[in-house]
Amino acid sequence: MGSRFWQRYKNSPLATELLDRAAYFTKAVAAIYIVRENLVEFTVCVGPSMMPTFNPRGDVALLEHVSVWSGHVKAGDVVLARSMQNPRHMVCKRVLALEGGTVFVPSSTKLGLGKTVTVPRGHVWLQGDNFSNSTDSRHYGPVPYAMLRGRVFLKVWPIREAGRVRNKLPPWQEAEMQPVTEKSEAYSRHVDDSLALLPAIDRCLAQQRQYLEQHPPRADADQQQWQPRRNSRGSNSSSSDARPYKATATGGPRVVDVGSGAGLPGIILAIVRPEWEVTLLDSLQKRCKFTQAAVEAAGLTNVRVHCARAELAGRDPALRDQYDLAVARAVAELRVLAELCLPLVRTGGHWVAAKGAAPQDEVAGAKTAVIKVGGKLLGLEEVDSEGPEGPRTAVLVRKACPTPHQYPREPGVPGRKPLC
C-alpha cells in the first residue's frame, strides 16, 4: 500500500517540495553539527573556580576546537575539558603547563613549601583561576590531552564584560603559584594580610560591646543553647532566642576562623589579641595537625583547633550560635561562605570576610544568600593591605536573626548549589 501511495504522489509538486525541504533541513543540521564539533560553539562557564575571569553565576563564551585538534593549545589558555571525577560533566579551567613543563604545587599545611610536579607526556596541568575554591589538577593530577574539548577565547555575555579571554594569569595569581622563600615575603603575604583585618574586626566588636551596655542580657540567658526541636507540623526548627554575649575564660570575645588552613588569620589574631578565645576550624586532618603543632610551638593558650567540615560544625549545638565573630580568608565565594560562617555566629555577632580588590559583583550576588541565613550586609571597606591587584577589602556582615534550621545544608551542597 505504501508503495502504491509513493508511486502515485512521488512526482506531485507537494512531494517534491517536502523532499526539498527535508534535504535542506538535513544539510543544515549536518552543517551545524560539523561546525559545533570541529570549529566553534557557545558554552556557559558557571561556578566560582574561574573567578575573576568568569562570574560564578555563569558567563556565555565562545569555544573553538581548532586549537585542540591541531595541537596548538598553549600554557595560559582557558579550556573546556571533561571532568576527571565525572566524565559526563565539563569543567572550565586554565592550562598552567603542557607535557614536559613543571608546576609548583603549594603545600596545604606549610607556608611557602610545596612540591614541583613535571607534567607527563600527553597530559596538561589544569587549574582554576580562583585557587582557593577550585578542584583541579592539584587534586587529581595531570589531565590527558584527549579530555580537552576546546579553547575558550571570547566572552560574549554579560555584554558589559564582552571581550577576548586573556591567556595569561593576572600577576597577583601568578605570585600565588610561587613558593615563599624569604621571611619578609611571608610577613607581607600572610602576616600583614591577617593584621590588616584587625581595624574592621575591632570596630565590629566595639559595636557589640556598646549594644550590650545598652541592652544587658537576662540572668538566665546563658543557659539557652540552640537545639533542633519539633514544631506543630513535625519538622525541625531552631530556637528564636539567640545566645547573648558571655565572657570567655580569657575575658574576651569568642572568634572562629572558618577554613583556617595553615592557621591564617586565626593564629595571628590570637597572638596580637591574647584576650580573645580563637577556634581554628578546618576539615582536613593534616592541616589541623599542623596548626595544632604551630599553636603549641607558639605557646598559645587561647587557641583551640577543631577538625570538622563547616557544614557539620554549623549543626553542632556545641558550636552553633556560639561565637561573637567569624572570620574567613580566601576560602570560597561569598554565597558559599555565608552559609558556612553565619550559623556559627550568635545573633548580634559579626562575620568578616577577607577579599581581594573590587569584589563588588561578588558582594552584590551574595546579598540574598546572606539574608537567607540570618545576616545583614553592612558594607565593604578597604583594608591596609596592598596587593598587585590593588587594595584588599573586607566584607562586613551582622547576624541580624537566628539562622533557619535547614542551614547549613549537607556537606558539599553549599559549594555545588550556592544560595541565591
- The predicted-structure confidence for 330-353, as pLDDT tens digits, reads as follows 667 899 899 999 999 999 999 999
3-27 mean pLDDT: 72
260-277 mean pLDDT: 92
Q: Is the per-residue pLDDT at 260 higher than 80?
A: yes
If we measure between CA atoms, which residue out of 327, 387, 386 comes closest to residue 354? Answer: 327
Evaluate the omega torsion of the peptide bond into residue 170 and state whether it is cis, within 30 degrees of 0: no
Distance CA 233, CA 238 (A): 14
pLDDT at 415: 79
Distance of CA 15 to the CA centre of its chain: 59
pLDDT at 375: 96
The pTM score is 0.62
Take residue 190 and report the three cell numbers written for it: 600572610
Distance CA 23, CA 30 (A): 11
Distance of CA 291 to the CA centre of its chain: 22
Q: Is the per-residue pLDDT at 88 higher than 70?
A: yes
Amino acid at 35: V
pLDDT at 230: 39
Give bridge partners of residue 152 from the DSSP assignment: 63, 78
Distance CA 236, CA 253 (A): 30
Pairing mode of beta strands 345-355, 323-329: parallel
Q: Answer yes or no: are the C-beta atoms of 303 and 268 closer than 8 Å.
A: no
Q: What is the per-residue pLDDT across 41-74, written as a single tens digit (0 to 9) for each?
A: 888 888 888 877 888 878 899 999 988 888 888 8
Distance CA 87, CA 85 (A): 6
Residue 319 φ then ψ, to 5°? -120, -30
Distance CA 158, CA 160 (A): 6
Using pLDDT thresholds of 50, 70 and 90, give the confidence band for residue 75: confident
**Cα 410–415–419 angle (5° rounding)?**
85
Give just the sign of the alpha carbon dihedral 319, 320, 326, 329: positive
